[in-house]
Amino acid sequence: MFGKLIKHEFRATARIALPLCGMMLALAILAGMVLRFWGDLPSGGFSTAGNAIIILYGMSLFAVSVGIFIILMQRYKQNFFGDEGYLTRTLPVSEHALLLSKLLTALVWLIVAGALMVLSVFIAGGLTGELSWRALREFMDALRYHLPRVSAGVWAHTILGMLGGAVFIMLLFYAIATISQNFRKHKFLYYVMILVIAVMLLRLLSLINGAVSGMFQDMMFRDANNSVGIIGGADGPTAIYVTSGASFGLIELYLSNVVLYFLTWAFLKYRPNLE
């Protein structure tokens, strides 16, 4: 049954998410072609159309990143608190299965959308001629040379941090949407208020973490590493760099995810305020 829930979620979200991604890739091709032959375009209507295509491509990147998130949140609200909420409550599955199916689907879509956005940039850059096959080969050679020299611990910390951050964002908005649903009137106003309070608390927590990290980093986390990057040069990427940071941040992130998950689950189970 859990697999059927995930399959249904993918089908429902793909109806809008896939056309958005397809539009972005198509506009990436058009924008790359326009930039490649920009100097040959006659002035007037052709130049205006070229500008419009480039602007539309930039807007499509925003539409994919924000639009898919809005789709996921709308699905969550509709399934649990909208007209579909009564049907959802009759399914022979637990609130854990319902919530996890939403969360796993959202996580996969965020990864897919991010990968397709990067791909679209490579497509547009390749078509302009700025990103040559030679530069791409040098990039891949640099990755093959340097990546094996990065420790497994660094990779694990980086990947877990990225996944944990994506899960945190979804769970945060799930929790806010679920809690605000329990107010009888002005639900959207309470949603915004809770969101503002959450952002302020996160900012305060970030400042505290920064102070604690700076205080104890030399004593406790001198050898800790938590992110990976690539230094680029005129001839392409030249080296891998690793930034240092405190390992307790990752533990704190996942503890926050656990708290948000069970907070959302508790409200869904014991206070399912349907509209």
* Reported confidence tier of residue 104, pLDDT bands at 50, 70, 90: very high
* DSSP code per residue over 149-177: GS-HHHHHHHHHHHHHHHHHHHHHHHHHH
Q: pTM score, two decimals?
A: 0.72
Tokens 């859990």, located at residue: 2
Distance CA 59, CA 67 (A): 11
Mean pLDDT of the chain: 77
- Rank 8-12, 84-88, 190-194, 269-273 by mean pLDDT and report only the highest: 8-12
Distance CA 109, CA 170 (A): 12
Higher pLDDT, 150 or 177: 177
pLDDT digits (tens, 9 = 90+) for 106-132: 999 999 999 999 899 888 877 876 666
Distance CA 105, CA 108 (A): 5
pLDDT number for residue 196 = 83
Element (H, E) at 128: helix 95-128
pLDDT number for residue 22 = 92
pLDDT number for residue 191 = 77
pLDDT number for residue 261 = 92
Beta carbons within 8 Å of 89's beta carbon, 6+ residues apart: 272, 274
| pLDDT for residue 21 is more than 50 | yes
| pLDDT for residue 215 is more than 70 | no
* Reported confidence tier of residue 25, pLDDT bands at 50, 70, 90: very high
Q: Which amino acid is at 89?
A: R
* Reported confidence tier of residue 24, pLDDT bands at 50, 70, 90: very high
Mean pLDDT for the stretch of residues 262-275: 79
| pLDDT for residue 235 is more than 60 | no
Percent of residues, the chain, with pLDDT higher than 90: 12
* Reported confidence tier of residue 262, pLDDT bands at 50, 70, 90: very high
Is 265:95 a contact under the CB 8 Å cutoff?
yes
Distance CA 64, CA 70 (A): 10
Distance CA 210, CA 207 (A): 5
Distance CA 21, CA 63 (A): 9
Other beta carbons within 10 Å of 191: 18
| pLDDT for residue 43 is more than 80 | no
- Decide: helix, strand or coil at residue 236: strand
Instruction: List the chain domain ranges.
Output: 1-131, 132-275
CA atoms within 13 A on the CB side of 23: 18
Distance CA 197, CA 203 (A): 10
pLDDT digits (tens, 9 = 90+) for 50-67: 788 888 998 999 989 888
| pLDDT for residue 26 is more than 90 | yes
pLDDT number for residue 258 = 92
Distance CA 244, CA 254 (A): 19
pLDDT digits (tens, 9 = 90+) for 173-203: 898 888 888 777 777 787 788 878 877 877 7
Tokens of 53: 């295509």
Tokens of 212: 């604690």
pLDDT number for residue 108 = 92
Beta carbons within 8 Å of 50's beta carbon, 6+ residues apart: 34, 38, 41
pLDDT number for residue 227 = 44
Distance CA 5, CA 93 (A): 9
